[in-house]
């Protein structure tokens, strides 16, 4: 079969090693990587989302700038490289505005077609199953705009009430969503309420691609160790300063975003806990404990989502993947 019809997908829980595996496979099979992470799309959220260190393609005669924040001329997603492999769908959105699955699907499809036109293998790597399905299975989503009246009504509900309602109306979406992220819960309920469609009933286009999905298996205790080690590295590398920069008055040159504490907290997981710590609502020890607890729970939700997909071939090592990939 011709290479132009093949797409490789690497999935797994957070901290399972998807990014490094994707790069190794890209080097071996002449591929390029499309990120499928709902938080790595945002600029300025680098350390706490686990973005790979990226290099931006320099102008003629210029020098590479090592950063996770694009130079002004590359806002919106210029060419980005990690270990010599081109990456897409990182730093494509401002954290001031919500980035939707529809936007992801549109940009990722463009990237996928660009990769195929150059005769390379598209490798989609990430832990946001909703994004991956939207891209490789061609789901079409109802164009639901913001509903101010409905949002005001939903804002009055507690998190538990919102999640219970979503479980009843759209169990597929509920299984993947951060149930402590009020903004996302409200948006999911907004879509299913207005459209009358759950994600299971959304139209799916016929795919022209042969998709191979590979999932990385990591023992639970080992994954916990990796998550804690990575979190400690994030703190050491300046994660709290990153959150402060998100809060400080907007300055694009300095990567300062001018976000409210409420907006920062809405990103969930470690960002919520860090924002609470910086507002002196919790101690540093509580911040770490809360962050790790939420990340563990997130990893569990990811695996619940991926295990529903019977087409995924589960592996424990890079060598196992090579057995499945034939070009």
**Which residue range forms the structural domain that includes residue 128?**
3-141+204-218+304-324
DSSP 95-158: TTSPPPHHHHHHHHHHHHHHHHHTT-EEEEE-S-HHHHHHHHS-B--------HHHHHHHHTS-
Task: Clarify whether residues 29 and 53 are in a common domain.
Answer: yes
In this structure, the answer to whether residues 101 and 247 fall within a common structural domain is no
Q: Are 164 and 286 members of one domain?
A: no
CB 111 within 8 A of CB 121: no
- Is the pLDDT reported for residue 70 higher than 80? no
Q: Are residues 40 and 103 in the same domain?
A: yes
Residues 133-160 have pLDDT tens digits of 999 987 777 677 778 889 889 988 998 9
Q: Band the pLDDT of 117: cuts 50, 70, 90.
A: very high
Q: What's residue 1's pLDDT?
A: 39
Same domain, 181 and 116: no
CATH number of the domain enclosing 250: 1.10.287.890
Tens of pLDDT, residue by residue over 73-86, are 334 445 799 999 99
Q: Do 173 and 72 share a structural domain?
A: no
121 and 262 belong to one structural domain: no
What is the tens place of the pLDDT at every residue in 98-114?
898 889 999 999 999 99
Predicted local confidence at residue 5, as pLDDT: 80
Are 229 and 289 in the same domain?
Answer: yes
Section 176-201 average pLDDT: 79
* Mean local confidence (pLDDT), 28-53: 95
**Same structural domain for residues 285 and 174?**
no
Query: What pLDDT score was predicted for residue 323?
Result: 79
Q: Is the domain of 36 the same as that of 166?
A: no
Q: Do 256 and 107 share a structural domain?
A: no
CATH for 17? 3.40.50.300
Q: Looking at per-residue confidence, does 79 or 196 come out higher?
A: 196
| 14 touches 295 (CB < 8 A) | yes
Strand blocks (E) in 12-53 = 31-35
Tokens of 324: 């499945």
What is the share, in percent, of the chain residues with pLDDT greater than 70?
Answer: 86
- What's the pLDDT score for residue 60? 43
Residue 302: φ, ψ to 5°:
-60, -45
Q: How confident is the model at residue 94 (pLDDT cuts 50, 70, 90)?
A: very high
Distances (CA, A) of 68 to 53, 84, 137, 187, 264: 6, 15, 30, 28, 18
Look at the chain and report how many structural domains it folds into: 3
How much is the mean pLDDT over the chain?
86
Q: Do residues 277 and 229 both lie within one domain?
A: yes
pTM over 0.85: no
Place of tokens 């320099």: 58
């Amino acid at each position: 079969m011709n290479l132009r019809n093949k797409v490789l997908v690497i999935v797994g829980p957070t901290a399972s090693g998807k990014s490094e595996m994707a790069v190794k496979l890209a080097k071996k099979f002449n591929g390029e990587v499309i990120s499928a992470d709902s938080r790595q799309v945002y600029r300025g959220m680098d350390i706490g989302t686990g973005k790979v260190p990226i290099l931006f393609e320099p102008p003629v005669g210029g020098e590479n700038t090592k950063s996770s924040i694009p130079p002004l001329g590359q806002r919106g997603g210029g060419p980005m490289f990690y270990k010599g492999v081109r990456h897409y769908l990182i730093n494509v959105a401002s954290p001031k505005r919500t980035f939707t699955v529809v936007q992801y699907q549109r940009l990722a499809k463009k990237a996928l077609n660009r990769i195929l036109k150059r005769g390379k293998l598209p490798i989609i790597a990430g832990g946001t199953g909703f994004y991956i399905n939207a891209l490789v299975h061609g789901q079409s989503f109802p164009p639901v705009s913001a509903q101010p009246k409905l949002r005001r009504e939903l804002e009055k509900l507690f998190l538990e009430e919102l999640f219970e309602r979503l479980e009843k109306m759209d169990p597929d979406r509920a299984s993947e969503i951060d149930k402590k992220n009020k903004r996302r819960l409200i948006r999911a309920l907004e879509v299913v309420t207005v459209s009358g469609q759950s994600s299971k009933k959304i139209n799916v286009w016929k795919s022209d691609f042969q998709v191979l999905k590979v999932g990385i298996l990591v023992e639970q205790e080992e994954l916990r160790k990796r998550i804690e080690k990575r979190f400690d590295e994030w703190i050491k590398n300046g994660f709290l300063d990153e959150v402060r920069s998100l809060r400080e008055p907007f300055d694009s040159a300095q990567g300062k975003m001018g976000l409210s504490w409420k907006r920062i907290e809405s990103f969930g997981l470690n960002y919520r806990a860090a924002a609470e710590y910086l507002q002196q609502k919790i101690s540093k020890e509580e911040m770490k404990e809360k962050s790790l607890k939420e990340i563990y729970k997130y990893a569990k939700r990811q695996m619940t989502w991926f295990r529903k997909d019977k087409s995924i071939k589960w592996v424990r090592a890079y060598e196992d993947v090579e057995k499945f990939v034939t070009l």
